[in-house]
Structure 1
Amino acid sequence: MKFMNKAILLLLTSIALLAVSCDDYLDKQEDEAMTFDKIWTKRATTLQYFYNVWGFMPTESNWVDENPWIGASDEATCTYNRDYRYMNNGSWGPSTVPYNRYMHYYQAIREANIFMQNIDRCSAKDVNETEKKLWKVQARFARAYYNWLLMRMYGPIILVKDELVDFNQSMGALQRPRNTWEECVEYVCGELAECAKELPASPTTNDDYGMPTKGVCYAVIGRLKLYAARPLFNGNELYKNVKNPDGTNLFPVAYDKELWKEAADANYEVIKLGQYELYDTGDPVESYRGVGLVEWNSEIIFARWEGGYYNRVHVTPRVVGGTSYGGIAPTQQLVDAYAMSNGRYPITGYNADGTPVVDAASGYIETGTSAFVNPVHGYDVPNGSNRNMFKNREPRFYATVFWSSDWWGYGTGNWVNPVFGFNGNSGPGASHDYPKSGYMCHRFYDHTKNTNAGYWGNLTFPIYRLAETYLNYAEALNEYYGPSHPDILTYINKIRKRAGVPDLETVYPDCKTSQTLMRELIRKERRVELAFEGQRYFDTRTWMIAEETDGGQMWGMNTSAVCPNVSTTPEDFWKRTAFETRIFTSKHYLYPFSQRELDRNKLLTQNYGW
């Protein structure tokens, strides 16, 4: 059994037994010293505390209830009535903070500190010193990681570090300001670097999968350094007046090009380990799908292993039957982002009415039908006439995007044709569980499992993987050295080769001399390669393009088109239609601190615009 399963199974027991958690680092708790001392006398209770430390880790694949990284991004729409709707319609703020994890992660940091400061006193005879040392460094990693999770939401945070806050102090004694962004980056990266010195290079037992290794530490540093170099945190003019009460600037006030070199070097640390390789079976579709479906494959650096239900039930069309809430879908913007099989990106922009500006050299055809086979399953649609807009697209498109009336498999010999038009078998009318854009995401759905019968399989959801590191590295090299650095094309083309598309310079020869074009192409490649992994939400924000990409109309097909019967998609369905208008302004780049925290800590500076 994998480690994270053990953590989940024991979590309720550990919480009830330990009762030492707090709402957040400013809350008070009762003194339970006698019970606390007994924890460290037995292996079982010591491990339960350890599992409790790790039990705060987010479930990144739960796109509905755990986080807004999919539902509030421009790559997707989620039909359910959840808090990401506040983010999309602009009605959130300090009094309404969707998916507020501020208290949660400070609680996690406190638990990690308690464990680290007490594990050495464990007197259980069946716990050896090697185990104590490993558990301690794993808890140290978790503490650094929780700080990082706060930073990606709020920017500069309050660094508690090793401190165990005395909850018997007066509230006034607990007032403290935020640390600067630079201090936060230095602290988290320093902690992870120290962890890397003591952690193994790879898992040595089944229980080690899902736990940190040297590569995991380097990968987190690499992403953090990349974010630090991007416009949001690198001399952002919007934040020049965001200061602590003593006048200290919380964000860097000047652009620093050297941060890109730091990002490149940090990501190369992962590459030169030689510990990981792109998962490649020789079949581009199966290789790409295998990244999420083949457990602990060669590309995974850090992942969460779990049952597939919570992710897959929300991308299963209703017509499949059983428990099926299919309502998570790619937007038309994401559908348009995929290249053609010749490697060219077909859509270069949009007219005022939402119609696409098409690159004629790509071979893309927006209208009409023709017969062609979807490489995911090897069949044409039932009437032998697929839509031209889906013809000759790159393999990752087919591995991710499912369109109305195509074949959906669920287990051996089970096939249906979901229809997303009004009153269709999986569209609006009879239920609110339908994809608002008229597409479905099936990237992490295992079509070999009969979900109608409740077989959901397992999921090793990638949190950090090698392809991202390649993209991080290429982006940083382009920004620091320019497009001529040879490693840029080397690593971008590794990804494209696995995806079954031509080398970048073959399709776009000018990319070798234009930094602007190379930047655009790296961002396009990143968008499709990492689709539905929770990256796009942060990418558009740290690049500071979200006011353009995440605000305004979101497009899809016309799900209001009435179906002549439940099994037929009407012709009117195949019309680009705005299903939602979203609001994104400059204040939305970072989360607001809740009004509760501002009221309790008078030294806490609110983020820009809130």
Structure 2
Amino acid sequence: MRYNKYLLVFFFISIFTSCEKEFLDIVPDNLATIDLAFTNQYNAEKYLYTCYSYLPSPSAINENPALNAGDEIWYPETERNNNGPTVAQGFQNITTPRFDFWRGNNGGKALYVGIRNCNIFLDNVDNVPGLDKFIKEKWKAEVNFLKAYYHFYLLRMYGPIVINDEALSVSASTDEVKVDKNTVEEAFEYVISLLDKAISGLPETLQFEDEEMGRVTKPIAAAIKARVLMTYASPLFNGNTVYSSIKNSEGKSMFPSSYDASKWERAAKACKEAIDMAEGVGAALYQKADYVDPFPQNDTTLLKAALRGRVTERWNKEILWGHTENTSGIQYNSMPRLYGYTSNPVASRHSPPLRIAEMYYSENGVPIDEDVNFDYNNRYKIKEASSADRFHVEQGQKTAVLNFDRETRFYADLSFDRGVWFGNGRDLDTDPWYIHSRKGEFASVFEISQYSVTGYWPKKLINIKTTVKNGTSLSTNRYAFPIIRLADLYLYYSEALNEMKSAPDNEVYQYIDLVRERAGLDGVVESWSNYSKDPNKPTTKEGMREIIQQERLIEMAFEGGRFWDLRRWKLSEIYMNKPIKGWSVLEQDVEDYYNVRVLYNPSFSQKDYLWPIAEGELVNNPNLQQNPGW
């Protein structure tokens, strides 16, 4: 069944980029062009698509900092001058900032131009002759959502931003364009108010799916509102004393001076409203029963395939908001060589470090360093796979102890040397692919820029039907790369409830346990009670906070969530000041291959929590202040 009534896939952006370029290239200061854009419904709708065209692509590795500008992915040295790796290494700068979404440079879209186009649309849509009132109000709601989303994207990156609520006239004075930043609280409240306005006017589902595919609906806006409020309530923006002395040119404090617990209550309410709204139109976690396979497979294989499908299944009832643009690129960079091609159809360089492999739970659903049964101290030693391991590790072959006895998401999301790879041209789990990645083997180094430097690959990002054609090119099955999905909301809600209560209770456990149950795990309380060295951890607020955070890092891995979560939790300075490690992948002998190697020692300081504003922008507008430390 196709659940595209609420799954938004942005086919129309690429369509109108190619077919209606004259309108996507509108220069708003050209009054004649603006007047032409609103002469009739057809032209006005094309201008609406212009407003949509500034949406940042979540799956483009050089355009989304959340994919590779943190500690979740690492690249070969020859690729480390690209946008994400440059930031991850600590080489961000103020002259030409990477991912400059303020001005639209170095992988960033010009979001203030997008906001200006939204303002122009809102100023002019009432003048379109004969436009039906219902359509007009729906369009306004869509554009108010986009305007809110663009402000939020900037706010999450830069902290204090300039709220742009009107389209300045071409005759505006110099002083009018030299505006000051608004405070963080002003910006958040502005975004929330815009989202409320949008939610009231948006439809619950698309009325004409074929014509409107890609348009925003009420559940999407509610889900993003929940994300906004979770960010607002989190430590980076709620009671962060590091920024208490930061003021604008008028002497106004740019950050809230004290912690406000009520923000978690607002966030929890928004999460529950978003969950109810999404479930009300048919959204649900993508389960093993939803994965349809024409061949008889082992139950373990089916669960692994379904867990991959929670991200890469195109008509996925869990994804509330997704984007199809560029998923072929991320698959090309993430997929290992499954056999010995004569040419190189995949790059294989989007590589999770060792810490990501260690992050996933044991098969008992607790952290591997807490599991009373997991051989944590010997996790880097070598073990031979038995028949009992055959659905995860090639039988009779050796790999690290770390790769045995892990939760199913570990095997669904990651691949590794001697790991089993089902699908992608092998339709029976009795005859899967096996990853061979030691020196000289087919998944090892093909070129100096095209291999996994860590010895792991993010299988989660590869559609199970993507294949290599004739050994020469990747035939990718595109999918809607998630911006937000239902599991996101469940874990947000659990987190917000835990923060607003004095101690966790069944309501806190309920929503995290739904995500765990889908992954084949027992609930939090049961798992910790039976297998953890710290069985009472889920009974305290602090312990449950750690559990929820790790659950989010696992469940949302490789989708961009980790990057922003570590920032809003103020934990990036801990994670990003630890060495990036991997296996010694250039070695041939098994004992040498499984030696841990330090790939890089990144550096992260307080200034790195917020993006720098380009120096040229500060010259153009002296009223702006550079972010702290830059």
TM-score (norm 2): 0.87
- For residues 576 and 160 of structure 1, what CA distance do their matches in structure 2 show? 50
Determine whether 1:220 maps to 2:224: yes
Partner of 1:97: 97
Structure 1 segment 588-599 matched on structure 2, within 5 A: 588-599=608-619
Q: Distance in 2 between matches of 1:307 and 1:75?
A: 20
Q: Deviations over 1:449-491 (max 9, x none)?
A: 3233542011111111111111111111111103333211111
Which whole-Å CA distance do the structure 2 matches of 1:3 and 1:480 have between them? 35
| Aligned residue number for residue 352 of structure 1 | none
Q: Cα gap change, 1:374/1:85 in structure 2, threshold over 3 Å: closer, same or farther?
A: farther
Q: Which residue does 1:577 correspond to in 2?
A: 597
Which residues in structure 2 correspond to 1:232-243 (within 5 Å)?
Answer: 232-243=236-247
How far apart are the structure 2 equivalents of 1:75 and 1:66?
Answer: 16
SS in structure 1 of the partner of residue 120 of structure 2: helix
**1:84 counterpart SS class:** helix
Task: Map residues 147-546 of structure 1 onto 2, 5 A cutoff.
Answer: 147-161=151-165, 163-206=166-209, 207-273=211-277, 274-275=279-280, 276-282=283-289, 283-306=302-325, 308-318=327-337, 321=341, 323-347=345-369, 359-364=371-376, 366=379, 367-372=381-386, 378=391, 380-381=393-394, 383-408=396-421, 409-412=423-426, 417-428=434-445, 430-452=447-469, 453-509=473-529, 510-546=536-572
Q: Residues 404 and 361 of structure 1: is their aligned pair in 2 closer, same or farther, counting only changes over 3 Å? A: closer
Q: Distance in 1 between matches of 2:392 and 2:528?
A: 32
Residue 308 of structure 1 contacts residue 458 of structure 1 at CA under 8 Å; is this kept in 2? yes
Matching residue's letter, 1:394: E
1:208 positional shift: 4.0
Give secondary structure in 2 for the equivalent of 1:301: strand
Query: How far apart are 1:381 and its partner, in Å?
Result: 1.9
Q: Which moved more, 1:525-534 or 1:478-487?
A: 478-487
Out of 406-415 and 310-319, give the one that drifted further: 406-415
How many angstroms apart in 2 are the aligned matches of 1:503 and 1:362? 19
In structure 1, C-alpha distance between the alignment counterparts of 2:236 and 2:522, rounded to whole Å:
32
Change (3 A) 1:319 1:114: same
For 1:68, give the aligned amino acid: P
Q: Deviations over 1:83-105 (max 9, x none)?
A: 22321222222113111111200
CA distance in 2, matches of 1:609, 1:475: 31
2:12 to 6, 18, 29: 6
Question: Could you tell me how far 1:339 is from its partner in structure 2?
Answer: 0.7
1:38 lines up with 2:36 in the alignment: yes
Contact 1:260 1:479 in 2 (8 A): yes
**d(CA) in 1 for partners of 2:71 and 2:624?**
31
Distance across 2 between alignment mates of 1:372 and 1:21: 65
Q: Which AA in structure 2 matches 1:138?
A: E
- Give distance in 2, aligned partners of 1:590 and 1:607: 7
The alpha-carbon deviation at position 442 of structure 1 amounts to 1.1
Contact kept? 1:291, 1:297, Cα under 8 Å: yes
Residue 312 of structure 2 contacts residue 461 of structure 2 at CA under 8 Å; is this kept in 1? Answer: yes
Q: Residues 555 and 373 of structure 1: is their aligned pair in 2 closer, same or farther, counting only changes over 3 Å?
A: farther
How far is 1:404 from its partner? 1.8
What per-residue deviation string (whole Å, max 9, x for no partner) do you get for residues 500-557 of structure 1?
Answer: 1111101224134311111111111111000011011111111111111012311111
CA distance in 2, matches of 1:373, 1:520: 35
C-alpha displacement of 1:120: 2.5
How many residues are paired up? 581
Matched position secondary structure for 1:458: coil
Distance in structure 1 (CA, Å) of the matches to 2:27 and 2:375: 59
Name the counterpart of 2:293: none
Residue matched to 1:551: 577
Task: Between 209-218 and 528-537, report the one with greater CA deviation.
Answer: 209-218
Q: Which deviates further from its counterpart, 228-237 or 418-427? A: 418-427
Q: CA RMSD in A?
A: 2.4
**Is the alpha carbon distance of 1:580 and 1:48 closer, same or farther for their aligned partners in structure 2, counting shifts above 3 Å?**
same
Counterpart AA for 2:274: V
Letter in 1 for 2:374: S
CA distance in 1, matches of 2:181, 2:352: 37
Moved more, 321-330 or 337-346: 321-330
**Distance of aligned partners of 1:229 and 1:307 in 2 relative to their CA distance in 1, 3 Å threshold:** closer
Distance verdict in 2 for CA 1:251–1:360, change over 3 Å: same
Greater shift after overlay, 40-49 or 544-553? 40-49
Task: Say if 1:420 and 1:439, in contact at 8 Å, map to a contact too.
Answer: no
Instruction: Note if contact 2:573-2:605 (Cα within 8 Å) is conserved in structure 1.
Output: yes
Residue 301 of structure 1 aligns to which amino acid in structure 2?
L
Q: Kindly indicate whether residue 55 of structure 2 is the aligned counterpart of residue 51 of structure 1.
A: no
Identity of aligned residues (%): 28
Secondary structure at 1:232 match in 2:
coil
Q: In the alignment, which of 58, 62, 65 is matched to residue 62 of structure 2?
A: 65
Decide whether the 8 Å contact of 1:372 with 1:386 is kept in 2.
Answer: no
Going from structure 1 to structure 2, the CA distance change for 1:446 and 1:399 (only over 3 Å counts) comes to same
Structure 1, 240-249 or 441-450: larger mean CA deviation: 441-450
Question: 2:118 — aligned with what?
Answer: 112
